[in-house]
Amino acid sequence: MQSPVRFPVLCLAALCLVSTVRSQDSAAEPVFSSTTVDIGVVASDLEASAKFYTGALGLTETKGFTATPEKATAFGLTNHLGADIRVFVLGEGSAATRIKLMSFPTAGGTKPDQTYIHSTIGLSYLTLRVTDMKAALQRLKEAKVELLGETPASLGGDNYLVAVKDPDGNFIELIGPMKSE
């Protein structure tokens, strides 16, 4: 005669095995086709922002695209306005983060309160990880970009943080090591 405890233990073991197999199956199926996030930024002055993101921050402009008024409206993104989108990348290849800059001069958009990162609800800042903070600081200096607060500030170890704002007041954090010359 079998022990009365043995059957429930075997059932529990079988359920755990099925649960583990299901967990592994769902883990094997990725939710996202890319782990890279593209970021769209509406700028009041597209040229000034493009100059900032390339010259001051060091991003590279790549091929952009156009969204017709019909498409942008059909997607629920605008009310009958098209957009020319300029694209800037943080590296090479399909995994490089892309910042998509666009402008709507006739839309009369409203700037959020960007006094501090807590002043407005929603996306507040971008963090860009740099390989050489000294080179980043030199680009910012040449572009006459004001550093915020008491930055560069040590984060401990080799990493430093620099905070700046783009031409529309959006916060940008740069984090990386100070490389010696």
| Confidence (pLDDT) at 180 | 61
Beta-carbon neighbour count of residue 160 at 10 Å?
A: 21
| Confidence (pLDDT) at 26 | 54
Cis omega before residue 152 (within 30°)? yes
Please return the burial class of 99, using the count of CB atoms within 10 Å of its CB with bins 0-12, 13-18 and 19+: buried
Angle, alpha carbons 65-99-139 (nearest 5°): 120
| Confidence (pLDDT) at 127 | 93
Q: What domains are there in the chain, each with its CATH number?
A: 39-105+122-177 (3.10.180.10)
* pTM flag (> 0.85): no
For residues 120 and 170, is the Cβ–Cβ distance under 8 A? Answer: no
| Confidence (pLDDT) at 30 | 84
Phi/psi-derived region of residue 61, left when phi > 0, alpha when psi is between -120 and 50, beta in every other case: beta
How many angstroms separate the CA atoms of 11 and 22, rounded?
A: 16
| Confidence (pLDDT) at 57 | 97
| Per-block mean pLDDT, blocks of 10 residues, the chain (181 long) | 42 44 60 85 95 97 93 89 94 92 87 91 90 95 96 93 94 90 58
